[in-house]
Chain A
Amino acid sequence: MILTVYHKTSYEFASPVGGILQSHRLTPAKCEGQKVIEWHVDVPGAVMGELFRDGAGDYIQTVSLRMPVTSIEVTVRGAIETTDTSGILRGHRERVPPRAYMRGTLRTEPNRAIRDLVDETLRGKANAPELERAHLLAAAVAEALPYKPGATHAHTTAAEAMTEGVGVCQDHTHVLIACAHLANMPARYVSGYLNATDDGSPHEASHAWAEIYVAGLGWVGFDASNQCCPNEHYIRLGSGLDAEDAAPIRGLVLGGAEETLDVTVVIEAQQQ
């Protein structure tokens, strides 16, 4: 399948700021399930650093703009060919040892409720294959946290989402990572895009899911929000320990002022 991507992030500042500095993770890396046909990231007026690949296999780019501005636009345009690999990440060049993804962060730290969820879900499954246990955990997270936008926010932790009882893809992913760690499986946060075919809602087009390391298979994606594994409708941008660590854009405003953020993401399947 060929997916086209249009992703625009606009920052408007109440008063002029001294510039911006960003680290982008906005260019998909090649793996068996995806191959870039063309890809452009533009930030008018900014100095774009060279694209380099980090140990996790993600393309990283430094973007700096050092002059007074009142608005900034980051635009991603691209086309990519995707195939369904049943969620398995194959042919992805990375150097980080999977066991390094056993560590938690503030956002993926488990609480009592998450521990109980794992205990109940895996009761009697101690000898079940890892893949099965990972699927069970993903299903349990989906059941424990019905999808509901608006109840949680960008800084909500896994524990807070559990208490809330609802969440969005970011919350599902954080909770699933916490669960996998408790089950002694390395897990990480993946950010990317989703061609949300059913409702086409642009909000969900910017998406996140978890990858769990399954011995013998390698990294396998689990999208608890949609109760499936990533397929040809998914575009993988990069990974990290949590939403902040894996953010497609991490940045700061120099001499910050109040900002208004507007994000548009349109993912479409190209007609064959």
Chain B
Amino acid sequence: MADTFFNEMYDQNGLRVPYRMLEGWYQNMPAEFRAVKQAEAEGLFRRYGITFAVYGEGGDPDRLIPFDMFPRVFGANEWRRLERGIKQRARALNAFLSDVYDRGEIIRAGRIPADLVYRNDAYEIAVAGFRPPLGVFSHIVGIDLVRTGADQFYVLEDNCRTPSGVSYMLENREVMMRMFPHLFQKNRVAPVDGYARLLKRTLASVAPAKCDRDPNVVLLTPGHFNSAYYEHSFLADLMGIELVEGQDLFVDGDFCWMRTTEGPKKVDVIYRRIDDAYLDPLCFRPDSTLGVPGLMNVYRSGGVTICSAPGAGVADDKAIYTYVPEMIRFYLGEAPILENVPTWQCAKSDDLKYVQENLADLVVKEVHGSGGYGMLVGPKADKATIETFAAKLAANPSNYIAQPTLALSTCPTFVEEGIAPRHVDLRPYCLVGRDVELVPGGLTRVALTEGSLVVNSSQGGGVKDTWVIAEE
């Protein structure tokens, strides 16, 4: 079975080029040394306080996500293609958002059904007709990718709202550099530590026109009980900006202000890590105490920029996902560089019929689900599980989509007996402001259980440092 999966380190021709520099490193590592290093890594993560669950997966917020020391490596050429594909997708998603909150040309052209967009819960009527600075809606686009072959990548989903996990990308590298400095002296691993600087530059580039000085950028968090709070404070710290909660900000007249010991200070750009529904009780959920009352009025009259723009979520809905290749063709006039996973929409009767007949071979997901919950992995499920799921599917078909089970690539991973192949995915973080930028790397998640294809940390997943080699 293992041979049917693409092994990123060894293919039929032997050791693949990007991994050449790791030859000798792990073979010569004594077991005791490895154990010491593994304990050291955990100590570092504990010390940094990085214990949150990625992607809002839930679970114990104080649990450390296992870190695997074996890096995942991309060659320069591989990465160049990925980078082009990721940036292309980020541009198209933003073009789509600009369009559907404006004239809706893609809908008028009959390329995407109107109801799929306009009746989507994530479509915000409150911002229809409003153009945010530079027309950018999604400033940080997290694109989840899997690999099935040397040249074959698929996009699993797009995250246009507030993708989390980037602190792992940064911390994984930091920990690796501290533990194995010689690996980085020997090899030209492209740095990722420019991310915070790029993120701040991106956020500052979308300051409102009314801002006539160096923009005051803040990071708005729901608070310390949020599972990603560590990441919020980590990023604010790296960018040198204030980490604020709703109660630290207030609206007066046409602007949003931050309380400081020296009196109110005007806020120009808010990198928010709270959901649309909680942003402003005068516009959205009236019972929300996490947001800033009146913020949406200030936003819509050009007094402050909110990143990501309220309403950006309509682009990353699982039902909209199917149409992203179409967006790329429509807005950019280009052929999609990265492929979508073929997806059956159970809302369509033909698709539903196919899915019902092939449940044992498919992965079936809830349209709005996340974290790997509520899904059926056909090939791994027993007969009773499939039957139970079939009943749920029949009761509410439009709640589900189905995809083939993908042969996720593997990367060598430290296990009890030495190293062994384990399945991985990748989430790079693309920044969109005046420029579209991508640091060479991302977050690699690894399914630590042998044979498992589920990389979610709530279900036995871990993380790895992700390298892009600057030469080949």
B252-A64 in contact (CB<8A): yes
B301-A52 in contact (CB<8A): yes
Q: Does chain B have a CB within 8 A of A55?
A: yes
Q: Min CB distance, A75 to chain B, in Å?
A: 19
Instruction: Give B295's nearest chain A residue, CB to CB.
Output: A62
A99-B294 in contact (CB<8A): no
Chain B hits for A251, CB < 8 A: 282
- The interface stretch among B77-85, B119-127, B377-385 is B119-127
Partner of B294, one of A23, A54, A103: A23
Q: Does chain B have a CB within 8 A of A244?
A: yes
B128-A102 in contact (CB<8A): no
Q: Does chain B have a CB within 8 A of A50?
A: yes
Give bound CA distance, A99 to B118, whole Å: 6
Q: Min CB distance, A93 to chain B, in Å?
A: 9
Give bound CA distance, A103 to B283, whole Å: 16
A49-B125 in contact (CB<8A): no
Residue with the greatest number of chain A CB neighbours at <10 A, chosen from B123, B250, B301: B301
> B101-115: which residues lie under 8 A (CB-CB) from chain A?
101-102, 104, 107, 114-115
Q: Min CB distance, A249 to chain B, in Å?
A: 10
Q: Does chain B have a CB within 8 A of A66?
A: yes
A47-B119 in contact (CB<8A): no
B128-A95 in contact (CB<8A): yes
Interface string of A22-48 (1 = CB under 8 A from B): 110000000000000000000000011
B129-A102 in contact (CB<8A): no
Chain B hits for A99, CB < 8 A: 114-115, 118-119
Chain B hits for A55, CB < 8 A: 101, 125-130
Instruction: Give A52's nearest chain B residue, CB to CB.
Output: B301
Chain B hits for A97, CB < 8 A: 104, 107, 114, 118, 128
Q: Min CB distance, A262 to chain B, in Å?
A: 22
B282-A252 in contact (CB<8A): yes
Q: Does chain A have a CB within 8 A of B24?
A: no
Q: Does chain B have a CB within 8 A of A257?
A: no
Q: Give the interface size bracket for A toward B.
A: 20 to 34
Residue with the greatest number of chain B CB neighbours at <10 A, chosen from A23, A50, A62, A101: A62
B298-A62 in contact (CB<8A): yes
Chain B hits for A66, CB < 8 A: 250, 252
> B412-434: which residues lie under 8 A (CB-CB) from chain A?
none
Residue with the greatest number of chain A CB neighbours at <10 A, chosen from B125, B282, B293: B125
B297-A62 in contact (CB<8A): yes
Chain A hits for B128, CB < 8 A: 55-56, 95-97, 100
Instruction: Give B114's nearest chain A residue, CB to CB.
Output: A99
Chain A contact surface mostly: mixed
Q: Does chain B have a CB within 8 A of A250?
A: yes
Instruction: Give B301's nearest chain A residue, CB to CB.
Output: A52
Give bound CA distance, A94 to B114, whole Å: 18
Q: Does chain A have a CB within 8 A of B281?
A: yes
Instruction: Give A239's nearest chain B residue, CB to CB.
Output: B125
Interface string of B124-142 (1 = CB under 8 A from A): 0111111000000000000
Give bound CA distance, A55 to B311, whole Å: 13
Q: Does chain A have a CB within 8 A of B253?
A: yes
Chain A hits for B101, CB < 8 A: 55
Q: Does chain B have a CB within 8 A of A140?
A: no
Instruction: Give B281's nearest chain A residue, CB to CB.
Output: A252
Give bound CA distance, A44 to B456, whole Å: 56
Q: Min CB distance, B121 to chain A, in Å?
A: 7
B125-A64 in contact (CB<8A): no
Q: Does chain A have a CB within 8 A of B254?
A: yes
Chain A hits for B130, CB < 8 A: 54-55
Q: Decide yes or no: A50 and B293 within 8 Å by CB, A244-B286, A250-B282 being known contacts.
A: no
Give bound CA distance, A96 to B104, whole Å: 10
Chain B hits for A102, CB < 8 A: 115, 118-119
Can you pick out 26 interface pairs between chain A and chain B where the beta carbons lie within 8 Å of each other?
A21-B251, A21-B282, A22-B282, A23-B283, A47-B253, A54-B129, A54-B130, A54-B300, A56-B128, A60-B300, A62-B254, A62-B298, A64-B251, A64-B253, A95-B128, A95-B129, A96-B129, A97-B104, A97-B114, A97-B128, A99-B114, A100-B125, A102-B115, A102-B118, A241-B125, A252-B293
The chain B residues found within 8 Å of chain A, CB to CB, are 101-102, 104, 107, 114-115, 118-119, 121, 123, 125-130, 250-254, 281-283, 286, 293-294, 297-298, 300-301
Leading 10 A-B pairs by shortest Cβ distance: A95-B129, A55-B128, A55-B129, A99-B118, A52-B301, A47-B253, A96-B128, A62-B297, A100-B118, A49-B254
The chain A residues found within 8 Å of chain B, CB to CB, are 21-23, 47-50, 52, 54-56, 60-62, 64, 66, 94-97, 99-103, 241, 244, 250-252
Known A-B contacts: A49-B301, A62-B298, A103-B119. Give 18 more (CB < 8 A). Answer: A21-B250, A21-B251, A21-B282, A21-B293, A48-B253, A50-B254, A54-B129, A56-B125, A61-B297, A94-B129, A100-B118, A100-B119, A101-B125, A102-B119, A103-B121, A244-B286, A250-B282, A252-B293
